[in-house]
């Protein structure tokens, strides 16, 4: 989402870095480019104005102008001010002292509340909680069926009633059911509504009164830009929001809503949706997003994803094979599948310092297709061929290309890349790995 903004900011910083010592005019020129980049990314005008003013005030101080590395000092200031705009520290869900705790999801029609309710329930389940989903959206015909289906797939109970039942009555009955099931969290999916519809907003207020929720979370589509910011302000004035969940943060929009919404509405972002899959959902960390925007990566999130996805026993086996230089194409296939589970290549590249600029090129249309092609080629080999690629002569390669729907050049390219990887691993095992391997990723 922030690819274009990241590129423009990094261009400004490279320009500053090439100047050595900076003057006040250099800083003003750079901040003019930063201001334009933020406005083009659809960041709220008042937010941009305040942000640039604060960065300028700190940047023209003696600590920066007299520094030997002023550009790095300014990047540090920009990073800190971005974190401040995004809310400072992480905002957690606040549980009830007497379970079950209740999270009520609200939002505009089509913002993705039902799917987000299931994602939040799965996140809580993985955190050791016992969630109960409540289908209180009795206005959209398919909403109840959708939530029941998602709950079944995730093995999470869903409370639902006939759509003719009033929402507040469904919620009252659901709370009783939650106590029977000893649920620790109740996640309520309410009907989508326009924030200008007074009757529907009044109904929402009644549901809130019945539930007495610990959390009232607004689900907003990050791709709607400043409309998301206006919706947050309106809903907050009507039902007193405690947090925001931003969906479609993996989209190709300009991303200004994410940078504006916390500052303008005063409501913290608690979670973000980063894809369509039910596990494409994560807590929101202002410092990590700021780091991604500035192209500095996000290794903490990358490590967390890897720990959740990769089997510890298999990881140790792989490490042993690498050290003994016995890594083969079966191991290669295992790693490809592990990467696919962790998320898209573009998202993963954003998290790795030095590779963030590649994220745009590793889109679903390029990187993901390439992974699938590699998987098809390897699966077209016999077990013996995967374990011993040296036996792959011309006739075997032609058979593999035909079986995988690839060209023989693709098979040759894969084998050449695999041999290079093996060579690097042998060098690494002997402590001779070259210090700079960035050319491999170009």
Residue 369 sits at the vertex; the CA angle it makes with 110 and 281, to the nearest 5 degrees, is: 40
> What is the rounded distance in angstroms from the CA atom of residue 74 to the CA atom of residue 300?
23
The highest-confidence range among 125-134, 231-240, 345-354, 415-424, by mean pLDDT, is: 125-134
Query: If pLDDT is split at 50, 70 and 90, which confidence band does 395 have?
Result: very high
Query: If pLDDT is split at 50, 70 and 90, which confidence band does 440 have?
Result: very low
281-283 vs 269-273, strand pairing mode = antiparallel
Helices marked H in 41-102 — which ranges?
45-59, 62-65, 70-85
CATH class of 301-441: mainly alpha
- Residue 220's SS3 state is strand
pLDDT at 373: 85
| pLDDT score of 200 more than 60 | yes
What average pLDDT does this structure show over 20-44? Answer: 86
The tokens of 60 are what?
């023209």
| pLDDT score of 356 more than 60 | no
CATH class of 3-85: mainly alpha
Please report the sign of the dihedral spanned by the C-alpha atoms of residue 80, residue 81, residue 86, residue 92: positive
Cβ-proximal residues to 388 (8 Å cutoff; 6+ apart), any chain: 328
- Give bridge partners of residue 133 from the DSSP assignment: 158, 187
What average pLDDT does this structure show over 139-155? Answer: 90
Query: If pLDDT is split at 50, 70 and 90, which confidence band does 425 have?
Result: low
Largest interatomic CA distance in the chain = 73
Asked if residues 103 and 299 have their Cβ atoms less than 8 Å apart, the reply is no
Asked if residues 359 and 346 have their Cβ atoms less than 8 Å apart, the reply is yes
Helices marked H in 129-245 — which ranges?
143-154, 167-181, 198-211, 226-239
Rg of the chain over Cα atoms, rounded to whole angstroms, equals 26
> What is the rounded distance in angstroms from the CA atom of residue 223 to the CA atom of residue 229?
11
| pLDDT score of 276 more than 50 | yes
Asked: is 101-294 a CATH 3.20.10.10 domain? The reply is no
Nearest in space to 392 (alpha carbons), one of 362, 415, 367 = 415
pLDDT at 170: 92
Q: Which residue has the tokens 């979370």?
A: 217
- Residue 66's SS3 state is coil
Element spanning 247, H or E? strand 243-247
Could you tell me how far CA 158 lies from the centroid of its own chain? 26
109: left (phi over 0), alpha (psi -120 to 50) or beta: beta
pTM for this predicted structure: 0.69
Instruction: Tell me whether the CATH fold assigned to 101-294 matches the one assigned to 301-441.
Output: no
Packing angle, helices 408-429 and 312-323, rounded to 10: 80
Element spanning 305, H or E? helix 299-309
Q: Where are the domains of the chain?
A: 3-85, 101-294, 301-441
pLDDT at 158: 95
224-266: per-residue pLDDT in tens? 878 888 888 888 988 899 999 998 887 666 677 888 888 888 8
Asked if residues 183 and 130 have their Cβ atoms less than 8 Å apart, the reply is yes
pLDDT at 196: 61
CB atoms within 10 A of CB 35: 18
The DSSP secondary-structure symbol of 113 reads: H
pLDDT at 358: 46
pLDDT at 309: 60
* Alpha-carbon separation of residue 215 from 93, 126, 158, 309, 433 (angstroms): 7, 19, 19, 29, 51
The arrangement of strands across the sheet holding 269-273 comes to 158-159, 131-135, 185-189, 101-107, 215-221, 243-247, 269-273, 281-283
Cβ-proximal residues to 436 (8 Å cutoff; 6+ apart), any chain: none
């Amino acid at each position: 989402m922030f690819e274009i903004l990241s590129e423009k900011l990094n261009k400004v910083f490279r320009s500053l870095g090439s100047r050595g010592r900076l003057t006040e005019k250099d800083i003003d020129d750079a901040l003019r480019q930063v201001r334009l980049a933020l406005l083009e990314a659809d960041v709220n005008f008042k937010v941009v104005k305040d942000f640039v003013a604060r960065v300028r005030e700190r940047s023209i101080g003696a600590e920066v102008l007299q520094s030997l590395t002023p550009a790095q000092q300014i990047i540090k200031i920009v990073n800190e001010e971005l974190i401040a705009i995004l809310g400072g520290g992480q905002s957690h869900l606040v549980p009830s002292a007497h379970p079950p705790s209740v999270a009520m999801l609200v939002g505009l029609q089509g913002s993705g509340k039902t799917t987000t309710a299931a994602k939040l329930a799965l996140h809580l389940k993985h955190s050791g909680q016992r969630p109960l989903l409540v289908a209180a959206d009795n206005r959209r015909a398919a909403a109840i069926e959708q939530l029941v289906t998602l709950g079944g797939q995730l093995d999470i109970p869903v409370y639902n009633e006939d759509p003719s039942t009033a929402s507040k009555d469904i919620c009252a009955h659901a709370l009783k059911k939650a106590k029977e099931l000893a649920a620790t969290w109740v996640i309520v999916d309410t009907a989508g509504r326009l924030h200008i519809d007074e009757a529907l907003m009044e109904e929402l207020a009644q549901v809130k009164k019945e539930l007495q929720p610990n959390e009232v979370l607004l689900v907003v589509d990050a791709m709607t830009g400043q409309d998301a910011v206006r919706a947050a302000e309106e809903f907050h004035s009507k039902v007193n929001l405690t947090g925001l969940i931003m969906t479609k943060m993996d989209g190709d929009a300009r991303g200004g809503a994410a940078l504006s919404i916390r500052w303008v509405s005063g409501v913290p972002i608690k979670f973000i949706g980063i894809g369509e899959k039910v596990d494409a959902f994560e807590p929101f960390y202002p410092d990590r997003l700021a780091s991604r925007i500035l192209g500095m990566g996000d290794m903490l999130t990358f490590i967390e994803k890897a720990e959740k996805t990769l089997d510890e026993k298999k990881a140790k086996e792989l490490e042993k094979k690498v050290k003994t230089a016995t890594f083969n194409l079966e191991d290669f296939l295992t790693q490809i599948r592990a990467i696919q589970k962790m998320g898209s290549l573009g998202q993963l590249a954003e998290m790795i310092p030095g590779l963030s600029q590649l994220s745009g090129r590793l889109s679903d249309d390029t990187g993901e297709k390439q992974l699938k092609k590699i998987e098809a080629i390897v699966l077209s080999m016999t077990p013996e061929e995967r374990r011993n690629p040296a036996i792959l002569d011309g006739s075997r390669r032609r058979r593999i290309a035909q079986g995988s729907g690839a060209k023989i050049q693709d098979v040759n390219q894969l084998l050449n890349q695999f041999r290079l990887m093996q060579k690097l691993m042998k060098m690494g095992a002997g402590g001779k790995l070259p210090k700079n391997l960035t050319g491999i990723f170009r």
